[in-house]
Amino acid sequence: MATDIGRIGIWTGVLDQLPVNEARDAAKIADDLGYGALWIPETVGRDPFLMAGLLLEATENIALATGIANIYARDPMTMANTLRTLEAAYPGRFLMGLGVSHHTLVEFVRKHDYSKPYSTMVEYLTFMQDKARFMANGPQELPDSIVLAALGPKMLKLSAEKTAGAHPYFTTPSHTAHAREIIGPDALLAPEQMVILDENPETARALARKNMAVYLSLPNYANSLKRIGFTETDITGSHEGDGPSDELVDAIVCWGSEATIAARVAEHHNAGADHVCIQVLAKTPEETIQGWKQLAPVLL
Residue 236 domain-assigned (yes or no): yes
> How many domains does the chain fold into?
1
Task: Give me the domain span that covers residue 87.
Answer: 8-299
Residue 183 domain-assigned (yes or no): yes
Residue 187 domain-assigned (yes or no): yes
Residue 3 domain-assigned (yes or no): no
Residue 1 domain-assigned (yes or no): no
The Cα 26–Cα 148 span in angstroms is 26
The Cα 2–Cα 119 span in angstroms is 27
Residue 168 domain-assigned (yes or no): yes
Can you point out the beta strands (E) in 155-256?
Answer: 165-166, 188-189, 192-196, 253-255
Per-residue pLDDT of the chain (300 residues; tens, 9 = 90+): 669 999 999 999 999 999 999 999 999 999 999 999 999 999 889 999 999 999 999 999 999 999 999 999 999 999 999 999 999 999 999 999 999 977 777 776 777 788 899 999 999 999 999 999 999 999 999 999 999 999 999 999 999 999 999 999 999 999 999 999 999 999 999 999 999 999 999 999 999 999 999 999 999 999 999 999 999 999 988 766 678 999 999 999 999 999 999 999 999 999 999 999 999 999 999 999 999 999 999 999
Which residues fall within 8 angstroms of residue 178, CB to CB, at 6 or more apart?
228
The Cα 177–Cα 81 span in angstroms is 34
Look at residue 2 and give its three-state secondary structure: coil
Residue 221 domain-assigned (yes or no): yes
Task: Give the domain CATH number at 191.
Answer: 3.20.20.30
Residue 162 domain-assigned (yes or no): yes
